[in-house]
Amino acid sequence: MNYFAIDLGATSGRTMLCRIDDGRIDIEEVSRFANPIIEVQNHCYWDILHLYREILGGLTAVARRGIDIESIGIDTWGVDFACFGSDGALLGAPHSYRDTHTAGIPDELFEEIPATRVYGKTGIQVMDFNSIFQLYAMQKAGNSALAAAHKILFMPDALSYLLTGKMVTEYSIASTSQLLNPVTKELDDELLRAVGVCRDQFAPIVMPGTRVGVLTKEVQRITGLGAVPVIAVAGHDTASAIAAVPAANDRFAYLSSGTWSLMGIETSDPIINERSCRENFTNEGGVDGTTRFLKNICGMWLLERCRNEWNAAGINADHATIASEVAKAEPFAAIIDPDAKCFANPPSMINAIAEYCRATGQTPPEGVGATARCIFESLAMRYRQVMEILDSFAPMPIECLHIIGGGSRNAILNQFTCDSIGRKVFAGPAECTALGNAVMQARAAGEASSLSDMRAIIAASVELVEYSPTSQREAWNHAYRRYLEITANYKN
């Protein structure tokens, strides 16, 4: 059978044709397109109609080839949402989580409802762009779209509504909002009231694998397709990605490596206690009622921002050149905390790294190789720091780390991570999000009966790259002690 996976990240989107035959899956990219943040009047927005048009383009391309597709699924980044009026009309462009309108908002909300109570209800890591803080910021600002909103739909649900005319709230994407209780699996009324909205403004919550509806007559006419079903897959891209981890058992940690690095374990129940609150870990919804207990870490955002600056300056910064230059650079010359607030969205990432180093008594890295090596080594040490915390929470021994997503192609960072954490690393698949999207559709169609069946299809279809720790372990141990000292002393 053929499945159509729409995979939208925070910088680009893809439409993918996925074929499952005899227990194996093949994937073909149909289209790829940019997903730029639009800055207007001191706010940052997503162009949701651009994304919709690109989705229609991918569907049209498949129809022109005469390919019959069983269903369509959409996954996106988390937390962001769109507002719709009582007539079903889109009320303006959705805010981007990179918008600074939430700066300082968590502290303001916590004056009304304590942070420990919010965490106790949701188990979600406090990050100032979470939906709860976006809604509170919009309500305080008198945002006209929110004031008129009949329904609030998270991004994958908003796009499935544009395709089908049917509204749902998919569980995994809703869990990123910091408004959902992972025990009851419902939105929390007290938190909704605190940010000025009510439960009726959200569509009913559905679990991954639920059929939303079929393409509207309008979409059928535009694309040339028939009444193809749209399935609510695990709408949060990380949830889809983790569903595609080709693990043989549950004794693993995962690292979804892309713009963000999301590192965690899969558990049957949420882990919500005083220590998980203090460590700021999050409990997000997964497939089959599982919980993704994880930490959000700033990932390849650091490198991509530097690459943009180098390319703008006429400096070759393709991935092959970066790998070559990193190999020549001095090890552990400069160390940063990838999650320091100064790296969230600075005018110049290169300058921000230099300023961090100067503030911590280090010589700033110069050039492509030194800067990229600083980023890679610092990320690897941050991964070790998070892994050590996961070890203390996990209900099972963590035997290995599965690195998935686009970052799984980065052999240098993968080996650095392996040496840093001191255990085996398996890299791949890179297209895990689209694969997870597709196998969830396959499950809805009856081609898989469980999460383990879904993962078995992936495992039979991809080749993983295995990494083992090298003889550099002691050098990494010494550097890690420096990392802990430097990051503990830095003041944001």
- Show the domains of the chain with their CATH numbers: 2-235 (3.30.420.40), 247-428+462-492 (3.30.420.40)
CB 169 within 8 Å of CB 91: no
- Confidence check: pLDDT of 109 > 80: yes
Q: Which residues partner with 47 through β-bridges?
A: none
- Averaged pLDDT for residues 384-397: 97
Q: Which residues partner with 231 through β-bridges?
A: 73, 211
- Confidence check: pLDDT of 492 > 80: no
How does residue 70 score in pLDDT terms, banded at 50, 70 and 90?
Answer: very high
- Averaged pLDDT for residues 325-336: 98
Note every long-range contact of 191-199, with CB atoms under 8 Å and residues 24 or more positions apart, other chains counting: 191/113, 191/118, 191/121, 191/122, 191/132, 194/109, 194/112, 194/113, 194/136, 195/109, 195/132, 195/135, 195/136, 195/139, 196/135, 196/136, 196/139, 196/146, 197/135, 197/139, 197/146, 197/149, 197/152
Q: Determine the pLDDT at residue 213.
A: 98
- Confidence check: pLDDT of 233 > 90: yes
Q: What one-letter code names the amino acid at 104?
A: G
Mean model confidence pLDDT for the chain: 96
Cα–Cα distance, 296 to 305 (Å, whole number)? 18
> Could you tell me how many residues make up the chain?
492
Half-sphere exposure (Cβ direction) of 342: Cα atoms closer than 13 Å: 17
- Confidence check: pLDDT of 80 > 90: yes
Beta-strand relationship, 291-298 and 260-267:
antiparallel
CB 255 within 8 Å of CB 382: no
For the four alpha carbons of 470, 473, 479 and 481, in that order, the dihedral sign comes to: positive
Q: Which residues partner with 39 through β-bridges?
A: 44
- Averaged pLDDT for residues 361-382: 98
Q: Tell me how crowded residue 311 is: count the other CB atoms within 10 A of its CB.
A: 12
Query: Encoding tokens for residue 73?
Result: 């699924």
Query: Encoding tokens for residue 193?
Result: 């009231």
How does residue 404 score in pLDDT terms, banded at 50, 70 and 90?
Answer: very high
- Confidence check: pLDDT of 58 > 80: yes
- Confidence check: pLDDT of 491 > 90: no
Cα–Cα distance, 70 to 154 (Å, whole number)? 24
Cα–Cα distance, 267 to 323 (Å, whole number)? 36
**Which residues fall within 8 angstroms of residue 274, CB to CB, at 6 or more apart?**
none
- Confidence check: pLDDT of 260 > 90: no
Cα–Cα distance, 334 to 483 (Å, whole number)? 9
Cα–Cα distance, 370 to 335 (Å, whole number)? 11
- Averaged pLDDT for residues 438-465: 95
- Confidence check: pLDDT of 59 > 80: yes
CB 465 within 8 Å of CB 426: yes
CB 219 within 8 Å of CB 241: no
CB 402 within 8 Å of CB 390: no
Is this prediction's pTM over 0.85? yes
Cα–Cα distance, 369 to 445 (Å, whole number)? 48
Q: Determine the pLDDT at residue 459.
A: 95
- Confidence check: pLDDT of 196 > 80: yes
- Confidence check: pLDDT of 248 > 90: no
- Averaged pLDDT for residues 434-459: 96
Q: What one-letter code names the amino acid at 254?
A: Y
Please list the active-site residues. 237
How does residue 258 score in pLDDT terms, banded at 50, 70 and 90?
Answer: confident
Beta-strand relationship, 229-232 and 71-75:
parallel
- Averaged pLDDT for residues 26-48: 96
Note every long-range contact of 310-317, with CB atoms under 8 Å and residues 24 or more positions apart, other chains counting: 310/368, 315/368, 317/368
Q: Determine the pLDDT at residue 277.
A: 94
